[in-house]
Amino acid sequence: MWNLDSTSSHQSKSSSRSAVAIHGDADVAARVEVNRCPRPATTVDSMDDFVLHHSLRLPLPPNSSVHKISTHAAAAGHAMDTPLVALIVVAGTSLAVAVPCLLLAFLCRRRDSSKSQLKPRCCSAAGAAAASTLPVSATAGTTTADCASWSFYGTPAHATLLKLSLADLAAATGGFSPDNIIGDGGYGFVYRAVLPNGVAVAVKRLSGDGDAAAGNREFRAELEVLGSLSHPNLARLLGYCAAGRDRILVYELLERGSLDAWLHGTDAEDGGGTDSLPWSARLRVARGAAAALEFLHHGRHPPVLHRDVKSSNVLLGEGFEAKLADFGLARIVRGSPAKSHVSTQAAGTAGYVAPEIWDGVGATAKADVYSFGVLLIEIVTGHRPSWPMKASMGDKEVNLVDWAREKIGADEASGILDRRMGIEAQGKEMEEAKALLEIARRCIDNAAKNRPTMEEAVAMLSKI
């Protein structure tokens, strides 16, 4: 016989303990009661069911649509991880390869472009005309005349220059025979050369025996300056040759030679020269030399300082037009020509050099103006700047510049004119000569700031 009361009492105690547990820990008790309840065979087919199961931390039934969707999404996400990473790796690798390749291609294109700009070419009527006067084997290693556009120190040489072979120049000068020398100096020798087509040119061969570096600087300076300039009063550079130690420049030949030769020829100092320049030719030479310097200082950018203006560097054309030559000491100015100094090293020829140069001040355009003033005195008097003179007062020996300055200041200019010109004491030519000497006096002022610019000098000459 069953003891129902005992059983009932036991169940009652269990219920009581369950109730206490529920009141003591409602969340835990709720879970216990739920777990003790049989789970209905339901499906989770909606988001509400999913939320309910999630809040109760129950697993989703495997046959539910939400469980299937979640399972498929997770599988798809896992499956996508591998190709996505692979795609990123491939893209990164491609980019790492492509960028250097593109950069390399850009640099190669730029290099080729630079080479094409420096590639020898005949690109102007002047270059074509010059090419027609030179031999067909003008370019070393080729069989055709060639033009080269040069660039030094960042300054392009716009004029076209012909690159000549050493063999052609040796043949044209008779093996650089002393019999063909028409000029010489510290730089080397100038030869008269006749090319195979009969055209005569002047070949300047820079000396390789002395300071090779100095010769190369002179070579580069002439190419840089004359190769990029064109003016009626500048000697025209036609071509060049650089072979081994040889540095050779080829110019148009000016058959009348230099102003120095005309002023100081045989017995010139004694007034016995047979081919003395008449006054009209001397005035024309003065104007031409002034125009050349004005162009160098004010007619181009950047300006150029000649730094060696003298009578032997003034060549004469057929009609006695002046052609300024020898740019071996020339320098391009990076700034104002009147204020910029290009070098503190003395350069030039004694007698023509401005006093500030000997004091260690760098050359400026005003130093060229001083040299031009000396040249004017030389043209009018017929004396070299180095020629010692006896001053009219006392026995002190003075140079040409000091002597001329004293005479001009004392209004005795007429007494220092070259007698070979045959200028009468009164007349138009005498007045012109005095006016030219007055310009010279201003140009040879010992203070550079008091000297005129070449623009001002040209303006004054135009009034004579």
Q: Which residues are catalytic?
A: 308
What DSSP assignment string belongs to 106-156? Answer: HHHHHHHHHHHHHS----SHHHHHHHTTS-TT-STTSSS--EE--EETTEE
Dig out the tokens for 204 from the structure.
Answer: 């300047």
CB–CB of 189/181 below 8 Å? yes
The two three-digit tokens of residue 409, written as one number: 């200041």
DSSP 258: B
Q: Is 339 labelled a binding residue?
A: no
- d(CA 320, CA 316) in angstroms, rounded, equals 5
Distance of CA 460 to the CA centre of its chain: 34
The answer to whether 303 and 245 are in contact (CB under 8 A) is: no
d(CA 367, CA 364): 5
Q: What whole-number distance in Å separates Cα of residue 141 and Cα of residue 386?
A: 47
198 vs 255: CA distance, rounded Å: 15
Helix axes 454-462, 428-443, angle to 10 degrees: 170
3-state DSSP assignment of residue 314: strand
CA distance 355 to 119: 44
3-state SS class at 316: strand
C-alpha 150/C-alpha 211 separation (Å) is 24
Give yes or no for a contact between 433 and 404, defined as CB atoms under 8 angstroms apart.
no
Give which of 309, 452, 324, 296 is closest to 377, Cα–Cα: 309
**Coil, strand or helix at 319:** coil
Dihedral pair phi/psi, residue 49, rounded to 5°: -65, -40
Annotated binding residues for ATP:
204
Annotated binding residues:
204
